[in-house]
Structures are given as structure tokens and as C-alpha cells.
Amino acid sequence: MPLRLYLLISITLITACSTVTLAPTAGVEGEPSVREHRPFYLFGWMGDNQVSIDHACPAEDVQQIQAYRSFSDGALTLLSLGLYAPLTLDTWCAHSTAEIQP
């Protein structure tokens, strides 16, 4: 029984969602202007962790950036045993009418 409990807790922790939000003012609601899926490896220790706001909002100010690990990102991390650990990055641009990027 302890082994099953340990496995259940491990799976829950690995696939748990987490979010980091950066916004100069109060949070923005609605759909993001740009959505990127960033690849990371070895439980997130390796990968490009720099965000270029000029790329996301070339002619507009950035209102908010949110990096999070969704359930599907956690599931992929679990299935790959931590070798692949994707992260989703959403960016809201000021006065943007852009579509969400796949």
C-alpha cells in the first residue's frame, strides 16, 4: 500500500499545474495575444528561459506575461520521465487583435 500511495503522490506532484504572472499593472483578462509552447528538458533544468517581448509584441507594449505548466505539459513530462518538460507562455499585448499562435 505505501508504494501505491507514493506513486500517486509522485504523479500528482509531477503533473501539478503552476503559474507565474508578470504584469506592471492589474492583471489582464481575456485571451492572450500570443501563446507559445516552450521546450525544456531534464525536468525543466535545460532549455531557453529568456523571453523576447519584441518578438511577441513587436509594435505594441506588453500588458502581461504568464508562464505556466498546464496539465498536458505535466502529463508529457511524466510520460517522458522528465526528459521533456514543456512550458506554455502567454503574452498579452496592448490593443492587440492578433490570433492565438499554436
Question: Chain-wide mean pLDDT for the chain?
Answer: 78
Is 34 within a domain? Answer: yes
pTM here is 0.68
Please report which helix (H) or strand (E) contains residue 77, including its range. helix 71-79
Q: How confident is the model at residue 99 (pLDDT cuts 50, 70, 90)?
A: very low
The answer to whether the CB of 22 falls within 8 A of the CB of 86 is no
Domain membership of residue 100 (yes or no) is no
Residue 20 lies in a domain: yes
User: Does the residue 98 lie in any domain?
Assistant: no
In-domain check, residue 76: yes
99 inside domain: no
56 lies in which domain range? 2-93
Task: Specify the long-range contacts of residues 1-4, CB closer than 8 Å, at least 24 apart.
Answer: none
Question: For 21-69, how does the pLDDT look when each residue is reduced to its tens digit (9 = 90+)?
Answer: 777 777 777 888 888 888 888 877 888 877 777 777 887 888 888 888 8
For the ranges 2-6, 17-21, 91-95, the lowest mean pLDDT is seen at 17-21
Q: Is residue 35 part of a domain?
A: yes
- How many distinct structural domains can be found in the chain? 1
31 domain-assigned: yes
Output the 3-class SS for 9-62.
HHHHHHCCCEEEEECCCCCCCCCCCEEEEECCECCCCECCCCCCHHHHCCCCCE
